Amino acid sequence: MSLRNKIAIITGCSSGIGLATTKYLLSKDCKVIGISRRILNLRNKKFKHFKIDFESDENFSELINYLKKRNIKINFLLNNAGINLPNQFNKISKNDYNKVLKVNLHSPFFLTQKLIKYFRSNGSIVNISSFSAISGGPFSSHYAISKSAIDGLTKNLAIYFSKKKIRVNGISPGLINTKLAKNAKKHPFFNRIILRRIGNADEIAKVVHFLFSDHSSYINGQTINVDGGMFLK
């Protein structure tokens, strides 16, 4: 599953799943362009970072100009950046609602749109969803809505990008050991996991690698649950 010298863009690359995937792909000799609101200094010649805060009204002009001036064509995109501002439905403010939808849905939508002309054919896009899109909660309705929409976007983009022979799939992580899943063992769904443990970010990174590679060449428009068997009982 060699990705040697191919180019991937990864959003939310400074922590959690994004950081794990960045390091994993670099270890496979893939070139990575990372996007995050915090600066990430990796001592690797194959890594380039752009500081972009998806909560703000910043656009992606610096990134697009970088690709345009160097005539760079990308092979892969991981739409991973996301936030959650947990709260009960009746306490979610309009400001928090807008922030979550902006980062989790609007930004990957418009970033992917701006990158259309920079994709090589036979590439792959992966969107990070969440088990909240299936379960609906128990908190953070705005987060669950954003991830349900990502699942719909994945299917729609698979149809749209078919003319460029680019596959689009999603990954729905369960409880993963990241900042977004603090106190995961106290989560109401923890006892439903038949593997009886939370997942690691590296385990998601390996699925991203698989979906980027030719080994998944006939998988398209799917969202893969990587949750330890959370919904089997």
- How far apart, in whole angstroms, are the C-alpha atoms of residue 128 and residue 192? 21
| 143 counts as catalytic | yes
Estimate the share of the chain in helix, then strand, then coil, as percent rounded to the nearest 5: 45, 20, 40
Closest CA to 100 of 49, 140, 45: 140
Alpha helices of 70-128 — where are they, by DSSP H? 94-101, 107-114
- Greatest Cα pair distance in the chain: 53
Query: Among residues 103, 182, 107, 171, which one has the least CA distance to residue 143?
Result: 103
The one catalytic residue in 24, 143, 160, 218 is 143
Active site residue ranges: 143
